[in-house]
């Protein structure tokens, strides 16, 4: 498998396409409804950061572990782990006012990624992730 770093000679992606409300435990934890259709939103490539921020403009950031893919020419190019950061207070205020919430999710530094790995013959239907913080399990999920 080839390891790919988006900060090396690889071209940074033009955008980050995110699928929201697809992790049942997170949906329940936030008290949200499970959508009938995928929730899709974008982040600009300026959201990519090698620095993990804990707060933005004095607001604590919430985070979610994500299984991440890069796609080139319509084909799966690489797989990795990502942390998606959210200004949850700003997002809640925006949603309450029926306003778009990109400012809460698409700011500079809102996405950190591991090295990405070319999938080879990996069966992506069996991918999983676990996120521990200080020894406490925060997320445990799989694609199946």
Name the nearest CA neighbour of 1 among 129, 122, 82. Answer: 122
Residue 143 has pLDDT above 80, yes or no: no
Please enumerate in sequence order all residues whose Cβ is within 8 A of that of 111, keeping only pairs 6 or more positions apart, or say none.
16, 43, 47, 48, 49, 82, 83, 84, 85
- 143 in helix, strand or coil? coil
Residue 21: its pLDDT value, please?
65
For residue 111, the tally of other CB atoms under 10 A from its CB is: 23
pLDDT value at residue 110? 94
* pLDDT band of 8, cuts 50, 70, 90: very low
φ/ψ bin of 81: left (φ > 0), alpha (ψ from -120 to 50), beta (otherwise): beta
Domains and CATH numbers, the chain: 3-129 (3.90.850.10)
- What pLDDT score was predicted for residue 26? 63
Average pLDDT over residues 99-113: 91
This model's pTM is above 0.75: yes
């Amino acid at each position: 498998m080839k390891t790919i770093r988006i900060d090396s000679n690889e071209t940074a992606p033009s955008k980050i396409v995110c699928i929201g409300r697809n992790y049942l435990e997170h949906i329940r934890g936030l008290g949200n409804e499970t959508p009938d259709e995928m929730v899709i939103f974008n982040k600009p490539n300026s959201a990519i950061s090698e620095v993990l921020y804990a707060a933005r403009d004095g607001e604590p950031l919430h985070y979610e572990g994500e299984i991440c893919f890069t796609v080139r020419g319509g084909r799966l190019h690489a797989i990795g782990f990502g942390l998606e950061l959210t200004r949850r207070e700003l997002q809640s205020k925006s949603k309450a006012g029926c306003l778009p919430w990109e400012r809460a999710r698409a700011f500079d530094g809102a996405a950190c990624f591991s090295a990405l790995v070319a999938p080879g013959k990996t069966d992506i239907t069996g991918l999983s992730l676990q996120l521990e913080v200080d020894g406490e399990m925060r997320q445990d999920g799989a694609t199946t």
